[in-house]
Amino acid sequence: MTDVQEAKLIEALQQVDVLGDVAPPGVHDPMTMVLRQLAVAGDLMRWDDNRGYYVLTGTGRSRISARRRAPGTLVHFTKRGDPEESKPVVVTRFPART
């Protein structure tokens, strides 16, 4: 999935949290249906019969929060006995996107 598609999916998941669906009730856009199908197939949201609207699953909530986090953390490593040669190294949690 490209960054643009991922951003649209994250935005749609945030709408599910607010509205109960990926778009307001009056919107009948083909992209809305595609986003809804991707989210349901990816187990990011599900239909709740008791409430009568879509709700985010734990996977969907973690997908939203993972997008907000920084992709890397700055960690300092030092050699024993020689503190002048310590250099910061960036350690990333996720592989680089190409």
Q: How far apart are CA 63 and CA 47, in angstroms?
A: 18
pLDDT, residue 93, reads: 59
Residue 39 CB-density burial (10 A; 0-12 exposed, 13-18 middle, 19+ buried): buried
Mean pLDDT, rounded, for 39-55: 92
pLDDT, residue 25, reads: 79
Q: What is the average pLDDT score of the chain?
A: 78
Domain ranges (residues) in the chain? 3-68
Count other Cβ atoms within 10 Å, centred on residue 40.
15
pLDDT, residue 74, reads: 57
3-68 is a CATH 1.10.10.10 domain:
yes
pLDDT digits (tens, 9 = 90+) for 56-84: 999 999 888 876 655 555 555 666 665 55
Beta bridge partner(s), residue 91: 73
Mean pLDDT, rounded, for 31-55: 91
Q: What is the pTM (predicted TM-score) of this model?
A: 0.62
